[in-house]
Each structure stands twice: as C-alpha cells, then as structure tokens.
Structure 1
C-alpha cells in the first residue's frame, strides 16, 4: 500500500529513472535539490512515507508561493513535475517526462487539518477503497475543512456543532439536493475516523433525497444491431471483448480495464476478479463467445509485452486502458459502427451494463443474483431495474375498463 512506501527510497528510485532520460547533468542536480526540499516539507509535517494527500499539500504550497511572487513560472513547473513524478512512479512504476496541466486546488492551511486530511486519505488507500471513492473523499473533505477554516476553526475540537448543518446549507448553492446524499456519506466517514469528530456525527443529515433516474437501456433493435456488428471485422478484437464482457456479465468499466491475464482460468472457463467498488471477490463463467474473442485478441492483436493487464493501448507505450473515458470511447465508436445512438442519446458502458441487467431480469434471473453480478453492496440498488421489465410491469397493471369513471374528473 502507498502508506508503506518510504519517501527516501521512492525519491532515489525516481532520481534513477530521471538519470536514464538523457537529460543534462545540471537538470539532474536541480531535481535532487527539489527532492531535498520536498523531504524537508514532509519532515515538518512528521511524514516519512508517500501519500497522495502529501503531494496535494505540496502542490498547494507551491501554488500559494507562486501567486505570492516568491518564484517564477519555470521554477513552479519544475517543482510541480517533481512531485507528480513521484505519484506517477507509485502508480505505474515508471515515469514519463511531460508537461503537467496546472489545476491547483486550495488546501487547508491549518497543520492539524492537513495532517488529519492526509491520515484519512491514507486510511482509505490502506483499506483498498476504489479510486473513485478516494477522489470523491479528497474533494469533499477538503471542501469541508476549508469551510471550517473560513468560519474561524482550525481544529475539530474547536468546531461548533452549528458549522456542520451550515456547511451542507452552503453546498446547496452548487450541489443538487440529491447529491447531498453522497456528500453526507463521505463527511460521515471522515468524522467517524477523526478524533473529536464523533460529537459532530449527529449533525450530518441522515435523510437526503435520493435520485431515482430512469435507467437507459438498449432497445431490442439496438441490441440486435450491436450484436450483428460484433460479428463483423469492423470492430477491433479488443473492443469486441470489452463490449461482450459488459453485455454478457454487466461488469463495470473499471473492472473490465483492471482485468489481468491471471484472472482468466482457461481450464475451468471462469473469470475471477475483486470488484473495485465493493472489494468483494467475484467469479463468473467464461461464456464461449467471450472466451473465443478474448483468446483471439490475446494471441493475435494484443501487444507483446510483460504487462499483466488484458486490455492495453494499441499504440506505444503499451499501457492499460484508463477506465471510464477509454471504455466510453470504445462503446461510442462501436455504436457508430452499428448505426445506433448517433445523436445525443446516452452511450458508454453504463448503458450496456443496464441492458445486461434488464435482459437477465426478463429471463427470470433472481434480483439477488443480478445484484451480485452487478457488484451492488446494497441489494436494493438493483430494484430500479424492475422498471425496465415492461412485460412484468404490464401484468401487474390494474385493468380500469370495468371501473365506471367520470371523464370530467380526468381533465
């Protein structure tokens, strides 16, 4: 886990990678000096291990000093690159010399808040929370702590209980009422973790409006058109495998792109994964059509590399696909090849995933089984798919033809 990576060792590893890039010796020395500065920054905060929260805090400090005119843009860019190279190396075990887009995020200035924030994020990473969960927590907890600072608080023990409902009231200016439910969940998790936060827990909204959207699914004609194009040579083998996995199993995009070669048991025809959102182990049967396309892709089209992930970029560097955005592009391209959803209709893996759930339901698969396949930690989350089973809903409808009615009452 990230919390076990010593900064000293990580920095030396990154400096060795930088030396392999063929840069001038002066630049190599400059980055060693920057990393010495970074180590001092961490020492002041009693931190000797890598954490993404430490990187964010360092980037925020750089931005504040740059805006105050303490150094110019070139130095700011080198400082930012040095910090982000550490993050890249932890994630990829490799670095790429590139321009990093500046997207500064204001961080709390209170040392107590910064340390608490960092420990909370480290805790999420330690327990293997999904990347989406961690990013959401970073954003929402950061906003919460900044709000407290703006209200004159620099420690949770100093926080007046009224500040918690005031924070949620403040969010209503930019967040929809249904989104407050998500915010409350993350803030509740943070306060449960933080020392001095338990007394504030009862002030977090316990009842929030829940959004129950209409689930978008493929029509029968769209489904047929998609299946037809998947049987042609128009679609890349990699893209066929991704679409079929989503269409037949309902797997999330993040679980598809994280699929590894070792997860596929060709002898027993199964795929075993750890679901990213729930952390639950899950085994699914490897259907013949999916297995045939997967094997063709791995043997014939997949780049020859030691990378353990199944789905890789087609062009060098041959890295794993990057989640939702790449899968969305794959689905949109395949839909276009099938001649469906060419306008502003919903696209992406979500549509295929919803369609898979709907078709399982129409074939009589129990809701509890569908819930497990979709990776829902709350079994009631799958109930919304009941609304897509038109025939079953029609059979439940009340026949009004035998009931006398006053038409005027309906106008």
Structure 2
C-alpha cells in the first residue's frame, strides 16, 4: 500500500485552486488511484516520494498492454502530471517524476461527411406537399446551410432571424451567441413555412417564438430531428451512418474544400479553439488524396 498519497489535499487543490468541475476532479483522482493500485499490485514502493519516472513509464506500458485506448492514456498522463505537479508545489516530493512523460500519439477520428450530391439527394427526397415535409425541408436547409448543432436548430427563434441582412443569431455552447450568414434558399423556405404552415399550428404557451414546431405546437426534440434524417437516409438508399451532426461536419468540410478561411469557419461553427476546426483540413486532405488515387494515371 502506498503511504501518504495525499489524495484529499490533491482533491481540495483541484477544486479550490484549479477551479475544476466535480467531474474533472473525480477523473483526476481516478487516474491517480489507478497508479496506486498498480504500485500496490506489484508491491513496488511504500511512499509517493519514492516513485520515479521509470516506474511511471512501466505503468503506462501496463495500461497499453491492457488495451487502454491512446486518448484515455493521454488523459491519465494529464491526471498524473497534475498530481505530481501538486506534490512538488507542496514540497511533498523532491522532484517531479511525471515531468517528462509524453502522451501517446493517436490520430483523431475524423467524422463522417456527405458529398454535396448526397446532401442534394436527401433534401430533394422530402415530400413538400405535406405540412411536415415543408417544415423538414426548411429545417434541412438551415441545418446544413448554417452548420448548426441540432440543439441550436431546435432552439432557433423567429426573433433570431434577420431577413434583410440575411443573418441569424445562434446561441451555442455555454450560452455564447454568434452571427451566421443564411442563404436565400433557406430564407425563402423559412418564409413559406412561417406564412403557409406554421400559421395554422395551435401554438402552446411559451413556444410562440420558436421557429420549428411539432404538431402539438411545441418546439421539436433532438430525437425527432435525428429520426427525420434517418428516414431520409433510408428513403434515398444512403448507406452511411448519419445524424444531424453529419450535416454540420459536411457544411464545414465543403467550405474547406471550397477554399474558405479557417478562422471564418471557426467563427461560424462556434468553436472556442481553432484546433477543433482544424480537423476539417485533415478531411480535406483525405478528400484530395482520394481524388488523386481515383483519377491520377500513376495510381
């Protein structure tokens, strides 16, 4: 058993000084507990002061042998660095054995995207002779044309739409607002939906400003949008596993393919960090590589 791991002091440090959420604190403590269990299992050391870098590297190798994914290993390393950094700060250890630990290299999974043709097929397959179909077509144009998250779509309000300036105001993660251009096709469909379809819906109190409503006169749920897109995929024979978020990924990818500035895409998607947006440059490279493989005479 490791003597004096100082986990309670570490917990207080994370909570009060680092200001981490309870979930993050629990994750860090769990990461350190894994190390303690490993050390105890092998009966390696009796105090945290005696743990060295070689043993930490052996611990990471042990995790790898157990098939722990690279991204989970990276998170555990982050937890260990925070822990030993705290011990050093409090002068509970003479030096930091985790300082030189490196996170494993792993390739971030690229999201599925649809081609422009597949997007057109989905939207064209919607039966606009029905009230629900007219609403769904307007929704699809907004979802793809503005690159919205499904939560942003279902919470979009009529008062958020500036028809003259052709912009919409969107409230994203963390209640952050952003302004996104909206195309004339989407605006036209919204106008038709409001004047010819929505006007006949008996709207329940509190839902008057939400743009897209269900038959009961309340705002849509995430699952209803998901179900609608799955039904369209089945109708068109699309074999890809898609969701509302696939349209957002496709929006960003098509902009990158068209040469749009990455900062502008970041702003429209509402990413707080541009590294999140940079994944679409990888998608674009894969797309170009596929074109070369398919059409270049030497391939």
Q: TM-score, normalised by structure 2?
A: 0.63
Aligned runs of 1:286-325 on 2, under 5 Å? 286-294=182-190, 296=193, 299=199, 301=201, 303-306=203-206, 310=210, 314=214, 321-322=221-222
SS in 2 for 1:123: coil
Deviation at 1:234, TM superposition (A): 7.5
User: Within the alignment, does 1:191 sit opposite 2:101 as a pair?
Assistant: no
2: CA distance, partners of 1:159 / 1:317: 65
SS in 2 for 1:202: coil
Deviation at 1:228, TM superposition (A): 0.8
Deviation at 1:284, TM superposition (A): 0.8
Number of aligned residues: 272
2: CA distance, partners of 1:187 / 1:326: 39
Candidates 61, 68, 71, aligned match of 1:175: 68
SS in 1 for 2:170: strand
- In structure 2, the partner of 1:385 is 283
- In structure 1, the partner of 2:226 is 328
Residue pair 1:259, 1:273 contacting (<8 A) in 2 also? yes
Candidates 230, 245, 259, aligned match of 1:350: 245
Residue pair 2:207, 2:219 contacting (<8 A) in 1 also? yes
User: Within the alignment, does 1:227 sit opposite 2:119 as a pair?
Assistant: no
Deviation at 1:269, TM superposition (A): 3.1
Distance 1:147 1:364, change over 3 A: closer
Q: TM-score, normalised by structure 1?
A: 0.49
1: CA distance, partners of 2:101 / 2:200: 54
SS in 2 for 1:217: coil
User: Within the alignment, does 1:250 sit opposite 2:147 as a pair?
Assistant: yes
Aligned runs of 1:269-284 on 2, under 5 Å? 269-273=166-170, 275-276=172-173, 281-284=177-180
Q: Deviation above 6 Å: which 4+ runs of structure 1? A: 156-159
2: CA distance, partners of 1:271 / 1:159: 59
Distance 1:184 1:147, change over 3 A: closer
The answer for unaligned runs of 5 or more in structure 1 is: 1-109, 126-133, 402-411
2: CA distance, partners of 1:187 / 1:283: 37
Distance 1:321 1:210, change over 3 A: same
User: Within the alignment, does 1:369 sit opposite 2:259 as a pair?
Assistant: no
Distance 1:267 1:301, change over 3 A: farther
The answer for unaligned runs of 5 or more in structure 2 is: 1-6, 41-46, 90-95
Deviation at 1:241, TM superposition (A): 4.3
Aligned runs of 1:256-267 on 2, under 5 Å? 256-257=153-154, 259=156, 263-266=160-163
Alpha-carbon displacement from aligned partner over 1:256-281 (angstroms, at most 9, x marks no partner): 3454555444553322335428x865
Distance 1:250 1:159, change over 3 A: farther
Residue pair 1:218, 1:351 contacting (<8 A) in 2 also? yes
Distance 1:315 1:171, change over 3 A: farther
Alpha-carbon displacement from aligned partner over 1:202-236 (angstroms, at most 9, x marks no partner): 255345222354x5332454323212124623855
2: CA distance, partners of 1:388 / 1:234: 40
2: CA distance, partners of 1:291 / 1:202: 54
Determine which structure has greater relative contact order: mean sequence separation of CA pairs < 8 Å that are 6+ residues apart, divided by chain length: 2
Alpha-carbon displacement from aligned partner over 1:318-358 (angstroms, at most 9, x marks no partner): 57735xx665333212323x4232x5x22112332232233
Distance 1:340 1:230, change over 3 A: same
RMSD, matched Cα: 4.9
